[in-house]
Amino acid sequence: MKEKHLVDSLNQASNLELFRLSILIERLLADPARIVSVRQSLTLGQYVKFLDSRRGELREGMVLGMSERQVTIKELVSRRLWKLPYVAIESESVAAMRMQTPMPPPAYGPADFCRGDQVSFEDRYARPHVGLIVRINSRTATVQGNGDTWRVPFELLRLVLDAK
């Protein structure tokens, strides 16, 4: 019922009002704080609900990968892979489903990575970094990217599924 009332209200708005509203919505969705809040509550293997923009319905899936701007989700019913912006995930469901399905993070070690692998990780400020592994130690990997070098524990590293 709320959607019908909203659509009726939007149908009565002028083109200029709709355009202003679309700009405002784009700004709100691009707000880094909004994206970071969703990213911080997500973990690999977590079950979430997301919006299928083509059909306008919520679907359920499992998080397979996270990059700077999008998340890769495998839909539970069709087993199809979705690459979606973080704002397409229902934030209430993230917290609720995390409580229902606590999954321990996978235990990664030196055997899970090779020299030359492209990996990503987040620093202590939740900023994403992508780079190549140039050296593997017993507890950390040396990662080079964007002219910087980091020693990163294996627990924080994630293989990059798609370099784009």
pLDDT, one tens digit per residue, over 74-83 is 888 888 888 9
Q: How many residues are there in the chain? A: 164
Are the beta carbons of 6 and 56 closer than 8 angstroms?
no
Strand, coil or helix: 10? helix
Across the chain, what does the average pLDDT equal?
81
CA dist 13 and 9 (Å) reads 7
Closest CA to 156 of 122, 127, 133: 122
2.30.30.140, 1.20.1050.10, 3.55.50.30, 2.60.40.1220: which CATH number matches 31-100? Answer: 2.30.30.140
pLDDT of residue 65: 85
Answer whether residue 22 shows pLDDT above 50.
yes
Closest CA to 130 of 139, 140, 122: 122
CA dist 12 and 48 (Å) reads 35
Are the beta carbons of 133 and 116 closer than 8 angstroms?
yes
**Percentage of the chain lying above the pLDDT 90 cut:** 13
Considering the domain 110-159 in this protein, what is its CATH number? Answer: 2.30.30.140
Q: What is the reported pTM?
A: 0.50
Closest CA to 90 of 132, 55, 136, 57: 57
User: Which regions of the chain carry the CATH code 2.30.30.140?
Assistant: 31-100, 110-159
Per-residue pLDDT band at 95 (split at 50, 70, 90)? very low
Answer whether residue 147 shows pLDDT above 80.
yes
Strand, coil or helix: 38? helix
Taking residues 38-59, what's their average pLDDT?
Answer: 83
**Percentage of the chain lying above the pLDDT 70 cut:** 87
Burial of 146 (0-12, 13-18, 19+ CB in 10 A): exposed
Taking residues 2-21, what's their average pLDDT?
Answer: 82
